[in-house]
Structure 1
Amino acid sequence: MDSARTFESIVIIFNPNSTGDAPELAEELQGKLKELLTYPVEIVLQPTEHAGHAVDLAREAAAKGGDVLVVSVSGDGGYNEVVNGVMQADNPKAVCAVMAAGNANDHRRTVGTKPLEEAIAEGHVRNIDLLRIHTGQKEGEPLEYAHSYIGFGLTPVVATELEKGSKGALTEMVSVIKTFSDFEPFEMRLPDGKRHKVDSLVFANIPEMAKYATLSEAADTPADGKFEIILFPHMPKWRVALNALRATTQGLGDQPSVSSYEFTTLKPLPFQMDGEVKNVDAGVTVKVESAHAVLPSIG
């Protein structure tokens, strides 16, 4: 249930070198909040200095304790860093929010309810699910979280291509087709010991990604303790192309919904978390699970 909240501090994190308008949007948000909020609150702008810096800034802001709101003015990747930083701080009173900036922000587009400054002024916080992934972290190393999706194989590659363009659905489809030429499937081993050759495997916490692709018919609010699995087994490329194009036009329809999924890598494997490229070694048991209602969020 939503609860009205006020904040002792609000930290707005943004990339000053963003190709988009993140610096301007961050300053604009700060100004609007100063006008709208009727209680005393410190509102700080925090520019990042390098890749991964948003994780540190968000962790430091949340670790101070108290009612703190950490806002990411960014695309999906920047928000991923802020979410992970807040989760590492282990402050149950810390709240996250995102203002879309940069290339694409599927999370904000699919779950946003109203202008962010209005939502913050109203103070209605809701707890949402995250995707938590185990990729062989050593003891003491933090686990990683995704707010929207984790993908292996073709679909994350396609998503990267889609995010490069903003000219409309036809151009997006052309980008999808071009991506197939050099793509190779990957093999994984399931807990029953069977090997499967897969073109694409995506775990989705939201129904859409990369502006046009509709992955599932899931509800817009990721707070049910489950996520959708979108799996393309290896098939002729023309069939993969049809499936991918269907995702950009009419959507893929209903997909299996689970609370956890596990497989073992047979070779080193790249994957994407909210658009950020990561890697997992061969012979690692990968486990993706729904971290139910762990992130207080606003907006």
Structure 2
Amino acid sequence: MRILLSGPSIPPAFDRIVLIFNPASSHHSDVLAKALHTELGYRLPAMTVDLLPTAFAGHGRALAREVAAAGTPLIVSVSGDGGYNEVVNGAMDGGGRAVCAVLAAGNANDHRRSTRRMPLIEAIVAGKVRRIDLLRLQVGERAEAWERYAHSYVGFGLTPVMALGIEGGTKGGLSELVSVVRTFRALEPFEIARADGARAKLDSLVLANVAYMAKYGKVSETGEPNDGLLEVIMLPHARRWRIALMTLRAITIGLGPQESVSSYEFTTVDPLPLQIDGEVMQVNAHTSVVVEVKHQALATLG
């Protein structure tokens, strides 16, 4: 028997709650979304709570944009990092007034692991909203430019290769690590031209807003998601054993303190894959890339 305790009827921070989820997810997002919907009905009976399933890739962004354009909603993405990226970008498209949160239902859940302070349901009931930074990625210039926000990181080189290796392999801790090791064979160094004209040949470059990424790795000891800075985790081109050693260190003791800056800019020399919050994209050769911190741009809780 469930015993209901009296509590706040409607948190003042938002006027309704919308749960966005992928009904086809292999991580049972639909089950988690419906369970949260039921729990919120008990805990906040006066609050409007809607379930919005996605139908295709990118639909989460469109749904969040529409929801965020009216009032001050709380949008909960029942997903992994990629699904939450869609919701965050949709909320920013809709004016940035919405509060956003994630109920972890993905493979890595890096953002939730890095930013979790309390159970999500308790934070929703209490209406405890705080603000965190976002990373704004701009690729290209003038009419050819496009941009996207990242809640956690933007990675080049090793990071998207690892993501593709995990996606293509068997799921599970040891199997995923074996898949990552196998992808080292496909890793090619890349070259970037910095704003001062200097060039660098790298195996990996990660610009991070959180301490954890790639499910197992701790990439920074100093980064905080609301400090106005991003961490630069860079690996110059080296022998494969050095890359493996860095990966082993990341998943055991962590990589330690990293350089912190408010923005990072470079130009690609060759076509270059990137990974933004779990989603892999491609950048053309001779294209400018700017990643900058938008300080406390996102209202969140949990």
Same fold (TM > 0.5):
yes
- Could you tell me how far 1:6 is from its partner in structure 2? 4.0
Distance 1:210 1:229 in 2: 16
Match of 2:24 among 17, 29, 46: 17
- 8 Å contact kept, 2:99–2:300: yes
Alignment match, 2:5: none
1:195-274 correspondence runs (5 A): 195-219=199-223, 221-274=224-277
Is 1:70 paired with 2:75? yes
- Could you tell me how far 1:182 is from its partner in structure 2? 1.8
Which AA in structure 2 matches 1:33? L
Alignment match, 1:278: 281
Match of 2:127 among 119, 123, 126: 123
Distance 1:187 1:91 in 2: 35
Alignment match, 1:136: 140
SS of the equivalent of 2:266 reads: strand
Which AA in structure 2 matches 1:60? E
Match of 2:100 among 84, 96, 100: 96
Name the stretch that deviates more: 110-119 or 71-80: 110-119
Distance 1:260 1:286 in 2: 11
Listed as ranges, the gaps of 5+ residues in structure 2 are 1-10
Match of 1:29 among 33, 36, 57: 36
Cα 1:118–1:140 change in 2 (3 A) is farther
Cα 1:141–1:177 change in 2 (3 A) is closer
Distance 2:144 2:122 in 1: 39
Please list the CA deviations of residues 82-117 of structure 1 after superposition, one character each: whole Å capped at 9, or x if unmatched: 00000111142x100100003221111221122211
Distance 1:172 1:55 in 2: 29
- Could you tell me how far 1:46 is from its partner in structure 2? 0.3
Which AA in structure 1 matches 2:157? G
- Could you tell me how far 1:37 is from its partner in structure 2? 1.5
Q: TM-score, normalised by structure 1?
A: 0.92
Q: Report sequence identity in percent.
A: 54
Alignment match, 2:7: none
Distance 1:205 1:251 in 2: 16
Distance 2:15 2:194 in 1: 47
Report the aligned-residue RMSD. Answer: 1.9
Which AA in structure 1 matches 2:67? A
Which AA in structure 2 matches 1:199? D
- Could you tell me how far 1:41 is from its partner in structure 2? 2.2
Cα 1:237–1:229 change in 2 (3 A) is same
Match of 2:111 among 107, 115, 125: 107
SS of the equivalent of 1:124 reads: coil
**Which runs of at least 4 in structure 1 moved beyond 3 Å after TM superposition?**
137-142, 159-168, 170-173
Please list the CA deviations of residues 10-36 of structure 1 after superposition, one character each: whole Å capped at 9, or x if unmatched: 110000000111001001111111111
Q: TM-score, normalised by structure 2?
A: 0.91
- Could you tell me how far 1:166 is from its partner in structure 2? 5.5
Distance 1:171 1:218 in 2: 30
Match of 1:294 among 288, 291, 297: 297
- 8 Å contact kept, 2:159–2:274: no
Which AA in structure 2 matches 1:278? M
